[in-house]
Amino acid sequence: MAYRCVATSVAGFVQQLAVAYVTHGYWFYVTGRVPEHKDPGLVDRKIIERYGIDVSKWTRARRRRAGLANVQYLRYGRFFILLATHGDHQFFAEEGGQIRDVRRTPIKFMGYSIGCRQARNGGRYHASVRIQSEPYNTLKASFEKMALHRSVNSIQAEFWGLNFEPYAPVRAQLFSALRAVNHARQKAGLEPVTTVPFRVRRVPVRPFG
């Protein structure tokens, strides 16, 4: 099977999903998990054949011009997602009420929230990757708590230990947590964290190894 669909890392899965698919109009999706008693490779082939996913980019272009939808499939471990563009396709008939629109309902995966937003000037839609609200609120509260009881080096080490890729919304969240730490330390008369203790540039990865 030529179609590549098995991401080899969390970072690769998120990058392929956000940068290669959501940004390019694959907004309609369903998610699922491969049951423990089933071979993921066999499930991959069944889904790809069922929806005619393994086609060339030229075929996808022709389908788009004809008003037909295209479908992509992506899996990491036993978690998988099917995504489709606007248009006619059996995907919409068969998946029915399970289908979500990423512009309204972000995709939740390994602590990330992958959504889709339109530019402020009403221009193109683009993917938006951030840390999910609940994990982020827990993370920020944890940093605010340690702000008064840990050294600068220890706090920096905790930030560096986070595994979230620094997409723009993620960076904004981390900077917000850092500001909260320094605000608490300033009120207590403690030395602030002056060095940015996390990556601010995302390094692209090879999604499929």
CA 209/CA 203 separation, integer angstroms: 15
Mapping DSSP onto H, E and C, the string for 11-36 reads HHHHHHHHHHHHHHCCCEEEEEECCC
Of 48-62, 110-124, 166-180, give the lowest mean pLDDT range: 110-124
Q: Mean pLDDT for the chain? A: 96
User: Which residues are paired to 73 by β-bridges?
Assistant: 82
High-pLDDT (> 90) share of the chain, %: 95
Mean pLDDT of 20-36: 97
Give the model confidence (pLDDT) of 64-73 as tens digits.
999 999 999 9
Strand order in the sheet with 125-131: 107-109, 112-118, 125-131
The answer on pLDDT for 62 being more than 80 is: yes
User: Which tokens is 147 given?
Assistant: 């702000």
User: Which tokens is 168 given?
Assistant: 């723009």
Confidence of residue 209 (pLDDT cuts 50, 70, 90): confident
**Cβ-contact 112, 14 below 8 angstroms:** yes
Confidence of residue 123 (pLDDT cuts 50, 70, 90): confident
The answer on pLDDT for 1 being more than 70 is: no
Task: Report pLDDT for 106.
Answer: 98
Domain boundaries, the chain: 10-130, 132-187
Task: Report pLDDT for 147.
Answer: 97
Mean pLDDT of 188-209: 96
**Cβ-contact 63, 69 below 8 angstroms:** yes
Residue 89's CB: how many other CB atoms inside 10 A?
Answer: 19
User: Which residues are paired to 125 by β-bridges?
Assistant: 118
Give the model confidence (pLDDT) of 129-183 as tens digits.
999 999 999 999 999 999 999 999 999 999 999 999 999 999 999 999 999 999 9
Give the model confidence (pLDDT) of 75-107 as tens digits.
999 999 999 999 999 999 999 899 999 999 999
| Residues, the chain | 209
Q: What pTM did the predictor assign?
A: 0.94
